Amino acid sequence: MKYKIFTDSTSDVTPEFAAKYGITVLPLEVIFEGTAYKAGIDITNHEFYVKLNDCLKNGKPLPTTSQVTEGAFEEALKPYANKEDTFVCLLLIGKDMSGTYSSALKAIESLGMKNVYAPDTMEVTFGLGCIVAEVAKIAQTDIGVEEFKATVDDYIDRAWIYASIGDLRCLRAGGRLSTVSMLLGTMLKLKPIIYVHRKVEVCAKVISQGKATRWIVDKIMEERDESMPLYLGSSEAEDILNDFRTKFKDQLKVTGTEEEFPLGPVVGVHAGPGCAGIAFFRKKK
């Protein structure tokens, strides 16, 4: 059985990785003052952060985002509709985070597709990316459909992200932080730490980036299934990723071969510049 993997641009998988495994990435849009850009097509990550930093610096309205439409899914899926030798798997931003998932289900129903699996991943950015990556790997094997679906479900259940936030204003705009907390956090130089699984939640606030990085490492060491790889991601915060790779190399058992999926425009709207973290798989219960 052949497997075809679809994801959306919030997974932040790189074009190189997508090409290597034949993954189709459908773009969401980011909108600056009425002008829409398809993530990864009309605007690069760096171009996005230049524009975002300009908004933050000069008090301009922050960008908004737009989901993948039902029509876009229909166009992408139609060549695979009920193709007997191909099983299609859609791994998209969690349904509680975007209407993209709902658009996909409507497209699947409209096309009458039976050869498809579209579970709620409950993830976004490199947490979603790590699921996509591991599923893409097993899709290269001779695994059967039922085992394939069970393995996908297991990856989804155990995928997790911890990340520190660099700029509190974007987190505040997304409703994850109160105005009072943002002001106090800015004055005290607090670093919120978020986790992502079904939803995005602030799980800790620590003083200094160094302590935030240590907090993330300690939690991952406690919870991680070491048989599964780590995935790194940041919004142009290479210095923090270097700490994970060097200062905590032994604790995290970093090999230097870890995939890095940079935060793209859509997730960057909410995470802001200077966000960095690690996606991993928790131990089996």
Q: Under DSSP, is residue 273 helix (H, G, I), strand (E, B) or coil?
A: coil
- Does residue 102 contact residue 95 with C-beta atoms inside 8 Å? yes
How much is the pLDDT for 189?
A: 63
What amino acid is encoded at 127 in this protein? G
pLDDT in tens, 220-239: 999 999 999 999 999 999 99
DSSP 83: -
Closest listed residue to residue 231, CA positions, set 146, 158, 131, 136:
131
- Does residue 231 contact residue 130 with C-beta atoms inside 8 Å? yes
Q: Under DSSP, is residue 17 helix (H, G, I), strand (E, B) or coil?
A: helix
How much is the pLDDT for 187?
A: 39
- What stretch of H or E contains 15? helix 15-21
pLDDT in tens, 178-191: 433 443 444 346 78
The whole-number average pLDDT for the span 51-63 is 93
- What domains appear along the chain, each with residue ranges and CATH number? 2-30+66-158 (3.40.50.10440), 159-281 (3.30.1180.10)
The CA distance from 220 to 208, in Å, is 19
Q: Cβ neighbours of residue 44 under 8 Å, at least 6 residues apart?
A: none
How much is the pLDDT for 182?
A: 40
- Does residue 131 contact residue 155 with C-beta atoms inside 8 Å? yes
pLDDT in tens, 234-269: 999 999 999 999 999 999 999 989 999 999 999 999
How much is the pLDDT for 200?
A: 83
pLDDT in tens, 85-132: 999 999 999 999 999 999 999 999 999 999 999 999 999 999 999 999
pLDDT in tens, 18-45: 999 999 999 999 999 999 999 999 999 9
The CA distance from 135 to 156, in Å, is 10
Backbone angles phi, psi at 66, to 5 degrees: -135, 140
What amino acid is encoded at 118 in this protein? A
Q: Under DSSP, is residue 192 helix (H, G, I), strand (E, B) or coil?
A: strand
- Looking at 81-208, list the stretches that DSSP marks H as alpha helix, in order from N- to C-terminal side: 100-111, 125-138, 145-158, 168-173, 179-188
The CA distance from 117 to 88, in Å, is 6
- Does residue 8 contact residue 102 with C-beta atoms inside 8 Å? no
Is the model's pLDDT at 173 over the cut of 90?
no
Closest listed residue to residue 21, CA positions, set 138, 99, 110, 168:
138
Q: How confident is the model at residue 172 (pLDDT cuts 50, 70, 90)?
A: low
The CA distance from 94 to 190, in Å, is 28
Share the mean pLDDT of the chain: 91
**What is the pTM for the complete model shown?**
0.93
- Does residue 30 contact residue 24 with C-beta atoms inside 8 Å? no
Distance set, CA 103 to CA 72, 91, 132 (Å): 9, 13, 19
The whole-number average pLDDT for the span 156-161 is 97
Closest listed residue to residue 13, CA positions, set 131, 100, 104, 117:
131
